[in-house]
């Protein structure tokens, strides 16, 4: 069954094989079509010149945030998202573990809620992610796959998910984190069985399911010149040369300020990196931006370096026409993934837990030039 917008009308809820008459809602979460009074379904107050998106909209670029569990729990939070950003990414809701919990079951509920919110508020949405090593369901990770059966599973997943969102998702992170720090192919469920060819398979399946959405390779630490950046460049160059459909490279842009204030490449270095990839004819998105500092205990010099880093990153993107979108990985420091993943670090985002703008917010404004 092919799904077409508006999504709410057709295949919402926990959907078995995504069939109309097979549909069952088992999660207890309601779609906006079922209950339009939910806070997250409301059109928020129009963006004014008090929000980042106002300044970004004058540049024809996008400024986004990741949405996760806090989204939909507070009108103040949702209104802030709609005021400050014109792009959203599902931080977890469109990953395999969530969206494809059993082999014949897809659960689009949470991703659809985010899309409906974005559409109601004039925002774009990035899709994240279609082929990754992490946050996969047990049925996938513990399956006994041959190359043929696993390839079919990957193609079916991408065909179903991308088709569900056909015409609505601005860009998909098709392949996520395929490379090791030394530039070699990361060992994943996909590469272990399908070899490097899974990357091409994923991009082709995504293009077949939606000819209009932008298809991205997304990875971390590509911002730093070195072997991993070189390997990503070669990877993109190779698949582009062979006619594999790819439209962009996602630089995750997770940075850490060190005690000496280093950690974010210079503005000139970032510009040169973005220009290098733009030379391949691909777009550039900064997809998961955050700049962490010691927490607690950051010195004023570290805090200043963090702000300067934010300004440099945004300004570097804006200096390169192909760099069309920047997404920060979460709204508030309290919901950020950083304290869990990097104990002793935090305060990486633009707002504190009280939804108050931080110095980093002003630093982003300065980078935009608004
Ligand atoms: O939702 C449950 C909640 O019900 C439960 O009580 C809680 C207990 O720990 O866990 C919650 O789930 C967490 C989930 O985030 C939702 O916030 C998971 O434990 C946690 O592992 C998960 O972390 C996510 C992480 O990917 C996992 O790899 C982060 O939110 C998410 O921001 C992060 O995003 C990745 C990108 O997709 C790819 N690039 C790296 C980036 C950072 O790891």
Contact of 217 with 178, CB cutoff 8 Å = yes
Per DSSP, the three-state class of 16 is strand
As assigned by CATH, the class of the 14-368 domain is alpha beta
Give the pLDDT of residue 141: 98
34 included as an active-site residue: no
Helix (H) / strand (E) element for 293: namely: strand 283-294
Tell me 104's DSSP state. Answer: T
Residue 15: the pLDDT is 41
- First-to-last alpha carbon distance for the chain, in angstroms, is 46
CB of 252 closer than 6 angstroms to any ligand 1 atom: yes
Round to whole Å and give the CA distance between 222 and 14. 36
Whether residue 335 lies in the annotated active site:
no
Q: Is the peptide bond before 128 cis (omega within 30 degrees of 0)?
A: no
Task: Tell whether ligand 1 has an atom less than 6 A from the beta carbon of residue 266.
Answer: no
- Specify burial of residue 198 (Cβ count, 10 A radius: 0-12, 13-18, 19+): buried
Note the pLDDT of residue 6: 34
Distance 204 CA to ligand 1 centre (A): 28
Looking at ligand 1, which atom is closest to the CA of residue 95? Answer: 37
Give residue 332's Cα distance to chain centre: 16
What tokens appear for 253 in the block?
């842009």
Ligand 1, atom 30: closest residue by C-alpha:
337
State how far Cα 210 lies from the chain centre. Answer: 18
Region class of 181: left (phi > 0), else alpha (psi between -120 and 50), else beta: alpha
DSSP, res 67: E
Asked if residue 69 has its Cβ within 6 Å of ligand 1, the reply is yes
pLDDT at position 35: 73
Angle at 87 between CA 255 and CA 258, to 5 degrees: 10
CB atoms within 10 A of CB 226: 13
Q: Tell me the CA–centroid distance for residue 136 and ligand 1, in Å.
A: 12
Q: How far apart are CA 166 and CA 159, in angstroms?
A: 10
User: How much is the pLDDT for 34?
Assistant: 73
Max Cα separation, the chain? 61
Does residue 135's CB lie within 6 angstroms of at least one atom of ligand 1? yes
Query: Domain residues of the chain, as ranges?
Result: 14-368
Q: 51-56: which pairs have CB atoms within 8 A and are 24 or more residues apart?
A: 51/83, 51/84, 51/85, 52/84, 52/85, 52/361, 52/364, 52/365, 52/368, 52/370, 53/83, 53/84, 53/85, 53/86, 54/370, 55/365, 55/368, 55/369, 55/370, 56/86, 56/368, 56/370
What's the confidence (pLDDT) of residue 49?
65
Ligand 1 touching residue 213 (CB < 6 A): no
For residue 92, report the distance from its CA to the centre of ligand 1, in Å: 7
Q: What stretches of 133-213 adopt beta strand conformation (E)?
A: 171-176
List per-residue pLDDT tens for the chain, 370 residues long.
Answer: 233 333 333 233 344 333 332 233 334 566 666 777 676 776 776 666 679 998 998 888 999 999 999 999 999 999 999 999 999 999 999 999 999 999 999 999 999 999 999 999 999 999 999 999 999 999 999 999 999 999 999 999 999 999 999 999 999 999 999 999 999 999 999 999 999 999 999 999 999 999 999 999 999 999 999 999 999 999 999 999 999 999 999 999 999 999 999 999 999 999 999 999 999 999 999 999 999 999 999 999 999 999 999 999 999 999 999 999 999 999 999 999 999 999 999 999 999 999 999 999 999 999 998 5
Two tokens, residue 105: 């079951």
């Amino acid at each position: 069954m092919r799904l077409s917008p508006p999504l709410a009308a057709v295949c919402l809820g926990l959907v078995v094989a995504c069939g109309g008459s097979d549909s069952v809602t088992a999660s207890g979460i309601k779609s906006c079509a079922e209950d339009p009074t939910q806070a997250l379904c409301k059109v928020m107050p129009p963006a004014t010149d008090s929000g980042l998106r106002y300044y970004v909209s004058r540049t024809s670029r996008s400024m986004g945030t990741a949405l996760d569990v806090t989204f939909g729990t507070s009108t103040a939070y949702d209104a802030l998202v709609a005021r400050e950003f014109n792009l959203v990414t599902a931080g977890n809701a469109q990953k395999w573990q969530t969206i494809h919990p059993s082999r014949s079951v897809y659960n689009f509920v949470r991703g659809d809620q985010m899309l409906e919110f974005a559409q109601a508020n004039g925002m774009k949405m990035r899709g994240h992610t279609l082929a990754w090593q992490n946050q996969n369901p047990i049925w996938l990770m513990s399956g006994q796959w041959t190359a043929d059966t696993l390839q079919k599973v990957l193609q079916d997943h991408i065909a179903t998910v991308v088709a569900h969102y056909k015409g609505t998702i601005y860009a998909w992170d098709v392949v996520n984190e395929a490379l090791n720090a030394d530039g070699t192919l990361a060992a994943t469920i996909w590469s272990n069985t399908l070899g490097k060819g899974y990357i091409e398979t994923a991009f082709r399946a995504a293009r077949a399911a939606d000819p209009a959405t932008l298809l991205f390779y997304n990875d971390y630490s590509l911002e730093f010149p070195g072997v991993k950046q070189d390997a990503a460049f070669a990877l993109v160059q190779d698949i582009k040369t062979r006619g594999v459909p790819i439209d962009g490279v996602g630089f995750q842009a997770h940075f850490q300020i060190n005690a000496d204030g280093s950690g974010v490449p210079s503005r000139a270095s970032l510009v040169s990196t973005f220009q290098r990839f733009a030379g391949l004819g691909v777009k550039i998105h900064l997809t998961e931006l955050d700049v962490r500092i010691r927490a607690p205990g950051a010195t004023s010099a570290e805090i200043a370096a963090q702000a300067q880093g934010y300004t440099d990153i945004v300004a570097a993107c804006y200096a390169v026409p192909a760099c069309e979108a920047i997404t920060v990985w979460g709204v508030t420091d309290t919901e950020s993934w950083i304290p869990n993943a990097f104990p002793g670090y935090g305060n990486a985002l633009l707002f504190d837990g009280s939804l108050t703008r931080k110095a980093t917010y002003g630093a982003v404004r300065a980078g935009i030039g608004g």
